[in-house]
Structure 1
Amino acid sequence: MNNYRTRAQLKQDAKDTLRGKWGTGILLYLITMLYGWITGSIQSVLNFGNNMNPDNINQMASTMRTTSLITIIVGLVITLIGNSADFQALDWIRNPELQFQPVQSNFSRFKNPDWYKLIGLNIVMGVLVFLWSLLLVIPGIIKAMSYSQAYFIYKDLSDKDQANGYSLTDFITRSRQLMDGHKADYFVLQLSFIGWWLLAFITMGIGLIWLIPYYRLTMADFYRDLAENNPKLV
């Protein structure tokens, strides 16, 4: 018989794991948080400059062409770093006493010979969600939720040396099957953090220092719960 954790239990698991170890959680996601702050600040400056120089369209277009490739490459690297942090968070939520180096954990997937598969998975998922979103916003959101566990499924199968027999779409299919009947739970869990996101916004992003580790560990625990109750899929 399946015994799924409640939303409150998932969030409590994350808080219990972080209790007395908030510094570790913050360091685990420090790089991705810094990237978000830096890119947000740069975008604000660019928007301000564009407003001040509305006629300088050619220069703006040239700058965008020059920086687009760099932006894509950096974005993929940061995505891989974020995935690595989430994978470490999953191991941590499974074993709260686990000892690890939080900053170094951000680069764990770069050492994996199949690191390119994770980047490919990110790209394929992004394209599929985008295509569904072209129909209407709601189908795109539903598919994004359906595919949300593909990264963790890849991690578990890769750790078991079982990922080689799977294509990128296989991980997405497993995620869709794992999320069958649980998309509403996932959606409500996301909604339960709205107050925290608003508080982080009000504090000019300072609150994100604590919110991001708490949120990401809760999402990792959501996957752990699904995987434990559906061992045939993972």
Structure 2
Amino acid sequence: MFFVNRQSIKQQAKEDVRKNYLPWLIVAIIAISLSFLQGYLQLTDQTSFVDGSARIQFQVRWLNIIEIILLVPFSRLAIHLCTGTFRSIKESLFKNEQWLRDIGALLLVALYTFLWTLLFIIPGIIKGYSYSLVPYILAEDDTISITEAIELSQRMTEGYKWELFVLDWSFILWDIAAGLTMGIIGFYSVPYQKATWTRYYLQLSR
């Protein structure tokens, strides 16, 4: 285990976003749009007195699946932007011959995390961080299997799960500001957070 300087990584992430903001903005627009759609549907479900609950929940589940599908392409784009290998949006987001593997892996991760959460909330959170690097691992390696990616993420996060938890909480004020501004701040904070997580992954993987 080696020390990862969180402040240094955040500074690098800010530079990554500043140097090539447009691709990051596309990620932010998609992520914020999906989040708002989910929030709107859930609010509609809670305030509606007509028999539409099942339909709304079905739509929310589909949005969750779309988010899962986009995790690996977004991670690949972020890696390309942070490592200076970015060429085009098309290449980073859509050049993927292993999309079935990626979806299967992330659905399995979601299932594992859910099952751990059924035991107690805390183990579920811990396991969530254990699996958190799977999208980045899949994005970088087309040959790795689902089980290998999950096992590698667990090894890489060994001793760093608390650090990753603290990293997430260090953005709480950004998240509050994004909520108070109806997502406007999110057009910067979402790329900033994604770039920071990507930089952390790159530190652990190298």
Q: 1:90 aligns with which of 79, 86, 93?
A: 79
**Which of 142, 146, 152 is the equivalent residue of 2:126?**
142
2:184 aligned with 1:206, yes or no? yes
Structure-2 separation of matches of 1:175 and 1:27:
27
Say which of 215, 218, 228 aligns to 2:196.
Answer: 218
Q: Structure 2: where are the runs of 5+ without partners? A: none
Q: Could you tell me which amino acid in structure 2 is paired with residue 221 of structure 1?
A: R
Residue 24 of structure 1, CA deviation: 3.1
The answer to whether the aligner puts 1:155 opposite 2:155 as a matched pair is no
What's the TM-score, normalizing by structure 1? 0.79
The 1:129–1:3 alpha-carbon spacing in structure 2 relative to 1, beyond 3 Å, is closer
Q: In structure 2, how many angstroms separate the alpha carbons of the residues matched to 1:209 and 1:136? A: 34
User: Would you say the 8 A contact 2:41–2:56 is kept in 1?
Assistant: no
Cα distance in 2, alignment partners of residues 74 and 48 from structure 1:
20
Instruction: Give CA deviations for 1:37-67 in whole Å, capped at 9, x if unaligned.
Output: 1222232233222xxx3xx5xx24xx51x45
Structure 1: stretches of 5+ with no match in the other structure: 229-234
Q: Is the 8 A contact 1:32 1:81 kept in 2?
A: no
**Deviation digits for residues 112-160 of structure 1, max 9, x if unmatched?**
23211111111111111111111111111110011111121122221xx
How many angstroms apart in 2 are the aligned matches of 1:106 and 1:30? 17
What CA distance in whole angstroms lies between the structure 2 residues aligned with 1:3 and 1:138?
Answer: 25
SS in 2 for 1:180: coil
Structure with larger Rg: 1
Provide the alpha-carbon RMSD of the alignment: 2.2
Offset, 1:17: 1.0
Output the CA distance in 2 between the equivalents of 1:173 and 1:105: 27
State which of 166, 172, 175 in structure 1 corresponds to 2:150: 172
2:115 maps to 131
